[in-house]
C-alpha cells in the first residue's frame, strides 16, 4: 500500500508530498479539470513506469519542462518499506529506481507495487470487443506467470512471420512449417490463459455472492476458442484442435491473406448462474463485474506475496444504484487500498473511515472528512 507520495512537475499538479498513513481508503474530491485523474495517473506510473492512457507518456511532463519526478513509499504486508523513484522525460524516456538501485525491467515495479487504474469506460472489459479482453488477460498473465512474457513474445513473432508469408504468397511447404511453430507457441499461452481464468473465476465468485438482490451462486470465466468449433479444457487439447484447423483451413487462409486461426482470435465469456453476463444482465451489473474482475486480478497477485495492491477508481460507478455502490465499495475496501475520485463530496458516504484529499487547480490538500 502507498504510505507517502512525492510529485514534481507532473501534468498540472503542483509540487507536493502527500502522506497516506494506515492504508485507509483515499477519497479525492474536486471539480472537473482540476487534476484528480492526474493524481491517479501519477500513482499508476509508479507501479508501471507508464501512463494508463495510451500514447500519453510524452505528455505527462508539465508544459515547458523537460522532466517530471514521482516517488512513493510502498509498505509490504510484513511491514517493510520499499521506495520507488521514477523520472519521466518529455521525449518519452524513463528512469526508475527501487531502493536506490536502477530498475531495468518495468515488471519489477509491478511486482513491488501492484496497482490498477479503472475509469468510467471499464465496462468495455465486459461489453467491448474481444481484443480488449485479450489485452487485459495478457497483462495479467505477464504479472502472474514468470514465463508468460517469453511465450507470448514467441507467439507474436510467429504470427508476424506467418502474416508476412501470406502477403508474399509463399509455398505450402513454408506454411506447414510455420503452422507447426504456431501450434507449439500457442499451447503454453493458452495454458496460462486457462489457468488465469480459473483463478479469476474462483475469486470473483466469492465477491459476487455478496452482491444484494442477485442471488448469484456460480460465476465462470469460460474460454472461447472462436474458430476451433470446440470446447477447450487444456493447452494440449487446444494445440491438437488448432493443428487440425490450420491444416483444414490452409487454403482459406492463403486466399484471404489473413491468419484466421490461433490465440489472436480467441476470447472469453462470463457466465453468471449459467447465463451470459453480456447478454442477460444490465449495463450496471456488467460494470460491477468489470470492476470485480480487476479486483480479483489484484487479489491473485496479492496472494503471491506482493505488497498490498492499490485500486485507483476514477468515477467508475455510473449506472450503479446506491445499494450496489455501497456493496461494491465494501468488497473493494476489504481487499485492497482504494483511491476513489469524484466531483461529488457526498460520495464520501461510501466510506466508513477515509483519508480525504481535495484537488483544486493542481494543488492537493488534505481535507477533513
Which segments of 117-147 does DSSP mark as H helices, in order? 124-127, 130-144
Cell of 308: 498490498
Q: Is 23 in contact with 14 (CB distance < 8 Å)? A: no
Mean pLDDT over 271-294 rounds to 97
Weakest mean pLDDT among 30-39, 111-120, 285-294: 111-120
φ, ψ dihedrals at 43, nearest 5°: -65, -45
Cell of 268: 472469453
Architecture of domain 2-114+308-367: 3-Layer(aba) Sandwich (3.40)
Measured CA to CA in angstroms, residue 81 lies from 1, 72, 113, 307, 311 at distances of 10, 10, 11, 10, 19
Fold of 126-279: Glutathione S-transferase Yfyf (Class Pi); Chain A, domain 2 (1.20.1050)
- Residue for grid cell 444504484: 321
Weakest mean pLDDT among 7-21, 169-183, 287-301, 305-319: 305-319
For 221-272, the pLDDT digits (tens) are: 999 999 998 889 999 999 999 999 999 999 999 999 999 999 999 999 999 9
> 341 falls in which pLDDT band (50, 70, 90)?
very high
**pLDDT value at residue 315:** 87
Instruction: Cite the residue boundaries of each domain of the chain with CATH code 3.40.50.300.
Output: 2-114+308-367
Instruction: Cite the residue boundaries of each domain of the chain with CATH code 1.20.1050.90.
Output: 126-279
For 63-105, the pLDDT digits (tens) are: 899 999 999 999 887 888 899 999 999 888 899 999 999 998 8
Q: Is 193 in contact with 223 (CB distance < 8 Å)? A: yes
Please give the Cα distance from 18 to 72 (Å, whole number). Answer: 9
φ, ψ dihedrals at 320, nearest 5°: -110, 130
Amino acid at each position: 500500500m502507498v504510505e507517502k507520495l512525492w510529485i514534481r512537475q507532473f501534468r498540472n499538479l503542483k509540487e507536493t508530498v502527500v502522506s497516506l498513513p494506515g492504508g485507509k481508503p483515499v477519497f479525492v474530491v474536486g471539480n472537473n479539470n482540476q487534476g484528480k485523474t492526474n493524481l491517479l495517473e501519477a500513482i499508476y506510473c509508479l507501479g508501471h513506469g507508464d501512463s494508463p492512457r495510451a500514447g500519453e507518456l510524452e505528455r505527462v511532463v508539465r508544459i515547458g519542462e523537460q522532466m517530471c519526478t514521482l516517488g512513493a513509499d510502498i509498505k509490504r504486508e510484513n511491514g517493510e518499506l520499499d521506495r520507488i523513484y521514477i523520472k519521466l522525460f518529455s521525449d518519452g524516456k524513463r528512469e526508475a529506481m527501487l531502493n536506490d538501485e536502477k530498475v531495468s525491467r518495468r515488471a519489477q515495479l509491478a511486482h513491488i507495487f501492484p496497482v490498477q487504474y479503472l475509469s468510467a469506460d471499464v465496462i468495455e472489459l465486459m461489453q467491448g470487443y474481444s481484443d480488449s479482453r485479450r489485452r487485459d488477460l495478457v497483462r495479467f498473465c505477464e504479472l502472474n506467470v514468470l514465463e508468460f512474457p517469453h511465450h507470448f513474445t514467441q507467439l507474436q513473432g510467429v504470427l508476424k512471420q506467418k502474416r508476412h508469408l501470406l502477403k508474399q504468397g509463399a509455398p505450402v511447404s513454408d506454411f506447414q512449417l510455420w503452422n507447426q511453430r504456431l501450434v507449439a507457441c500457442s499451447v503454453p499461452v493458452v495454458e496460462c490463459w486457462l489457468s488465469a481464468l480459473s483463478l479469476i473465476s474462483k475469486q470473483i465468485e466469492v465477491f459476487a455472492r455478496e452482491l444484494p438482490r442477485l442471488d448469484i451462486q456460480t460465476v465462470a470465466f469460460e474460454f472461447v476458442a472462436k474458430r476451433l468449433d470446440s470446447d477447450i479444457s487444456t493447452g494440449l487439447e487446444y494445440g491438437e484442435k488448432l493443428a487440425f484447423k490450420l491444416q483444414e483451413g490452409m487454403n482459406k487462409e492463403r486466399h484471404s491473406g489473413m491468419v484466421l486461426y490461433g490465440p489472436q482470435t480467441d476470447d472469453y465469456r462470463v457466465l453468471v448462474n449459467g447465463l451470459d453476463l453480456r447478454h442477460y444482465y444490465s449495463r450496471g451489473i456488467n460494470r460491477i463485474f468489470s470492476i470485480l474482475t480487476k479486483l480479483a486480478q489484484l487479489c491473485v497477485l496479492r496472494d503471491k506475496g506482493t505488497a498490498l495492491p492499490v485500486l485507483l477508481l476514477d468515477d467508475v460507478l455510473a449506472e450503479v444504484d446506491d445499494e450496489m455502490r455501497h456493496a461494491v465499495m465494501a468488497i473493494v475496501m476489504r481487499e485492497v487500498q482504494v483511491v476513489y475520485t469524484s466531483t461529488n463530496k457526498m460520495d464520501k458516504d461510501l466510506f466508513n473511515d477515509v483519508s480525504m484529499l481535495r484537488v483544486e487547480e493542481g494543488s492537493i490538500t488534505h481535507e477533513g472528512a
